[in-house]
Amino acid sequence: MLAQRHEINLQLLKIADALLLAGAFWFAHFLRYHDMIVMDGLVEIDEFPKFLWMVAIIAPFAPFLLELQGFYGHPQEKSTWRGMQQIASAGVWLFVLLGAAVIFFRVTVPSRSVLILFAMLAPGVLLARERLSRWLYWRSVREGSIIENVLMAGELASMQALAEGFSPQQKMEIRVVEMVDLQAHPVEALVDALHRHSVGRVVLAFSRMDLDRVQHAIEACEVEGVEAWLSTEFIATSIAKPSFASLGRRPMLVFRTTPEISWALFFKNLIDRCGAAVGLILLSPFLLIIAAAVRLTSPGPALFRQQRAGLHGRPFEMWKFRTMCQDAEHRKAVLSHLNEMSGPVFKVSDDPRITPLGRILRKFSIDEFPQLVNVLRGDMSLVGPRPLPVDEVKRFERMVHRRRLSMKPGLTCLWQIRGRSKVRNFDEWVKMDLEYIDHWSLFLDFYILARTVPTVAFGVGAK
C-alpha cells in the first residue's frame, strides 16, 4: 500500500539524513584536522572522539527538526529554494540545541571552525540527497513500479469528487481501475470487480451514511482480503480532523479540533517543564525582591491566587503577584459599568483597584512570573490561550468560546503579541486563540515566545 510505503520511505530518509549529516560532520573534522582548508591563524584541534557528543546531538535531532519544518514533504511539490529555507530554519534550532548542551552540561566546543565547515557542507549534502530522491521517484513513475491500482465503490458523484480532489502526487501514484456504483448495483457487483482486478485497496465514498450498504461493502472486502478505506464525507466537519482509535475493543472514528498526541506535543510539554524550572531558578532572587516590594508597598499578601479554567475547563489555582488592593474582588461589582471588554471578560484601563507598584508590574507582565510554578506543575504551558477566571468562563455567550479551552492555557499567546489590552472585543480575542489552536506547531510556539520578549520588555499594548 502506498500509505505504508510512504511511511517506510519517510523513516528511511530520516535515517539516511542522520547518517549523511554524521558523515558530513566527520568530513568537516577531517578537512580541518589535516589542514586541508586554507585559513589564517589555524591551530591544531582535538581528534574526532572529542567531537562525538556533538554528533550524538546532530544525528538524532536534525531529522526531527527538518520534519518540523516540512522538509520531508513530497519533493515534487517543493522548490529548491524552499528546501534551503527549511534546512536553514532547522539549522538554527540545531545550533540552539548545541548551545544549550554547552551551557547546561558544561561541555566545551573543541573547534568552532569544524562547526562552520559542517554548516557549509550539510545543506549541500541534504539537497543532493533530496535531488537523488526526486530522480529515483521520477524513474519509478516512468517505470510504473509505484503505481497502485485502486477500486472505488459507493455513490457515483462522491467517487468522482474524491478522485478529482487527488493531489498531483496521488494522481501519479494511484490508478482508479473501476468505479462501482453501489446505489445502482448490489454489493455483488463490487465482489465481481474485485475478481476482475488485482487490487489491494477499495475506497468507499458515500455522501450520506447508509450503514447496511457500508457494512456489506466492508464485509465483502474483508472476505476478499483487501483493505477498505471509508471516506468520512458523510460526516460534515469544518475544523475537526478524523483519526482512528479503539475503545473497549471496538474501532472508533475520532474527530479532533486540537493537535493529536505526537512527539511534537511531547517536546512541547518537556520544553514547558524544563523552561519553567530554569526560569524559576534564574529568576528566584528577582522574584523574592518583587514579593517583598509588593508586601511593603500595600497591605495584603504578595501573591494573588484565583481559580482559573484550565484544559477543558478544569479549575486550577493560578498564582500571580498581587497588583490590586486587598479587597479588589469585592469592589469588582461596583466597577462593572466601566468594563471596556465585550463579552464575559472584565477589563478596565484605569482600574482604581490597581496599586502604583501593580501598574508597573502589569505593564511589563512581571506579575505573571509566578505562573511558572503553574507551568512546572502541568496546569499551564509557556504558550497557550490565556486562562480566564472560572466565573467568566461560565458566562461564555457562544459555544465557540468553549473551544479555546481545548488546549492547555499559557503564559503568552497570539493575543499577547498582537495588542494585549488594545483588544477590546472578546470575539477577536477568541479568534486569535482559535487561530493558534488550529495552526499549532512547535515553530509557532517558538515564534510567539520570541515575539513576546520585546513586546513585554517595551510594555507594548499593556495597561
Instruction: Say if residue 271 is in the same domain as residue 415.
Output: yes
Q: Is residue 245 part of a domain?
A: no
Instruction: Say if residue 453 is in the same domain as residue 336.
Output: yes
CA distance 301 to 306: 13
Residue 395 pLDDT more than 90? no
Instruction: Say if residue 278 is in the same domain as residue 312.
Output: yes
Residue 317 pLDDT more than 90? yes
- Give one word for 240, left, alpha or beta, with left for phi > 0 and alpha for psi -120 to 50: beta
- Encode pLDDT of 76-121 as tens digits: 667 788 889 899 989 988 988 888 888 877 888 888 889 999 999 9
- Give pTM, 2 decimals: 0.64
- Encode pLDDT of 197-237 as tens digits: 988 889 999 887 678 888 899 999 988 888 898 887 777 66
Q: Is the dihedral of CA 328, 333, 334, 336 positive or negative?
A: positive
**Structure confidence at residue 253 as a pLDDT band (50, 70, 90):** confident
CA distance 419 to 283: 26
Instruction: Say if residue 111 is in the same domain as residue 11.
Output: yes
Task: Count other Cβ atoms within 10 Å, centred on residue 51.
Answer: 23
Instruction: Say if residue 19 is in the same domain as residue 45.
Output: yes
Q: Is residue 243 part of a domain?
A: no
Instruction: Say if residue 343 is in the same domain as residue 280.
Output: yes
Q: Is residue 244 part of a domain?
A: no
Domain stops at, among 143, 167, 198 = 143
Provide the domain limits for residue 169. Answer: 148-236
Instruction: Say if residue 320 is in the same domain as residue 449.
Output: yes
**Structure confidence at residue 410 as a pLDDT band (50, 70, 90):** very high
**Structure confidence at residue 62 as a pLDDT band (50, 70, 90):** very high
CA distance 421 to 411: 15
CA distance 209 to 153: 14
Q: Is residue 377 part of a domain?
A: yes
Amino acid symbol at 380:
M
Q: Is residue 254 part of a domain?
A: no
Domain stops at, among 220, 236, 252 = 236
Number of domains the chain is built from = 3
Give the CATH number of the domain where residue 161 resides.
3.40.50.720
Q: Is residue 190 part of a domain?
A: yes
Domain stops at, among 172, 201, 236 = 236
Instruction: Say if residue 429 is in the same domain as residue 281.
Output: yes
CA distance 151 to 234: 19
Instruction: Say if residue 46 is in the same domain as residue 78.
Output: yes
Instruction: Say if residue 226 is in the same domain as residue 372.
Output: no
Give the CB-side neighbour count of residue 239, counting CA atoms within 13 A: 11
CA distance 413 to 390: 19
Q: Is the dihedral of CA 291, 293, 295, 301 positive or negative?
A: negative
Instruction: Say if residue 352 is in the same domain as residue 446.
Output: yes
Instruction: Say if residue 37 is in the same domain as residue 114.
Output: yes
